[in-house]
């Protein structure tokens, strides 16, 4: 099929290319798309070179699928234009996530909500994806009443400029040699500041965790509070999640529920120093869960430590999984009979 990748030159865009290749997603024509300043530049995909095209040319090509990772403002303007010509859009920005008419999907959790009429599909926030993948089966069995979330989020979630700031500070470069995207140093530091602050004292990232979790799980009764922290790590996001259930649980049974959860790997052997860490989650598509233990300070309460590569399962992999589900269910317009793989 004809596939457009909008935001092909970005950090997530590069990983999207990797995941599309690794998953052997069937593509007969690949359209790398970026802003006007990048048009004409070359990107490599499956060993071939492709020239980047602009958004207007991409819409005119009427691709079967467009995967967006180019920011909310671009998605708001251009995703509907792609949809109008019959393209199915999987959007990685925050533009459509809380739109009541758009589906917000983690395939292991709620892919069944998708139908042929869904032409713009929202990819959730990276920190939401990994947490929901782990807690959804627990919610189904024990029913979650309340979540208290603390995140430890990789600088890669901010983009390539954040990596440049980290590297510049680490190497002792003058601030004039790199663009600062954080208001304080990130090397050897932690910033309790992910995205912008709202008047209520919470950041946009923290409220994404609140709102997106309820939408994906289809349950607005869950009480959620979050603190999101940026840490000088490149491997992935980590989360400390405290859960209060309506129903009591057996801890070994609960561990088994997690072991059976699709896309989840339990790493929980503290006596042998085995627990999830971003260093070892990097370049992996799974969600890793450990430090599974009761919270004895409250009834029916649990603590989890959840880690995943935010550029893969938290972004690119989840988007490609959505596309693969649509393909498998026959929900993408494409002529499979004439399809060839690049």
Which residues are known catalytic residues?
126, 237
* Cβ 318 vs Cβ 216: under 8 Å: no
Pick the closest to residue 203 from 104, 94, 312, 69 (CA basis): 94
Beta bridge partners of 55: none
Whole-number Å distance between alpha carbons of 126 and 121: 15
Roughly what angle, to the nearest 10 degrees, separates helices 204-217 and 126-142? 40
* Cβ 162 vs Cβ 152: under 8 Å: no
Secondary structure of residue 102 in the 3-state scheme:
coil
């Amino acid at each position: 099929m004809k596939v457009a990748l909008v935001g092909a030159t970005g950090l997530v865009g590069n990983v999207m290319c990797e995941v599309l290749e690794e998953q052997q997603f069937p593509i007969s024509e690949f359209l790398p798309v970026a802003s006007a300043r990048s048009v004409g530049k070359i990107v490599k995909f499956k060993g071939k070179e492709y020239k980047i095209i602009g958004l207007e040319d991409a819409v005119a090509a009427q691709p079967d699928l467009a995967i967006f990772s180019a920011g909310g403002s671009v998605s708001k303007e251009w995703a509907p234009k792609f949809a109008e010509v019959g393209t199915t859009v999987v959007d990685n920005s925050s533009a459509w996530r809380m739109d009541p008419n758009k589906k917000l999907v983690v395939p292991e959790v709620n892919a069944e909500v998708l139908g042929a009429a869904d032409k713009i599909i929202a990819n959730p926030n990276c920190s939401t994806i990994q947490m929901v993948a782990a807690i959804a089966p627990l919610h189904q069995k024990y029913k979650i009443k309340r979540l208290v979330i603390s995140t430890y989020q990789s600088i890669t979630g901010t983009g390539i400029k954040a990596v440049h700031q980290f590297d510049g500070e680490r190497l002792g470069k003058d601030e004039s040699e790199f663009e600062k995207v954080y208001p304080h140093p990130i090397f050897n530091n932690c910033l309790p500041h992910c995205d912008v602050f709202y008047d209520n004292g919470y950041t946009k990232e923290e409220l994404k965790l609140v709102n997106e979790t309820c939408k994906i799980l289809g349950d607005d009764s869950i009480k959620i509070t979050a603190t999101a922290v940026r840490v000088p790590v490149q491997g992935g996001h980590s989360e400390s999640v405290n859960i209060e259930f309506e129903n009591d649980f057996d801890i070994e049974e609960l561990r088994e529920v997690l072991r059976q959860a699709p896309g989840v790997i339990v790493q929980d052997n503290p006596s042998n120093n085995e627990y999830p860490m971003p260093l070892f989650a990097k370049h992996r598509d799974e969600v890793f869960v450990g430090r599974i233990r009761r919270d004895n300070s409250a009834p029916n309460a649990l603590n989890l430590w959840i880690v995943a590569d935010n550029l893969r399962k938290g972004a690119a992999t989840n988007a490609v999984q959505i596309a693969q589900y649509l393909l498998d269910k026959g929900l993408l317009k494409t002529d499979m009979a004439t399809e060839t793989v690049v």
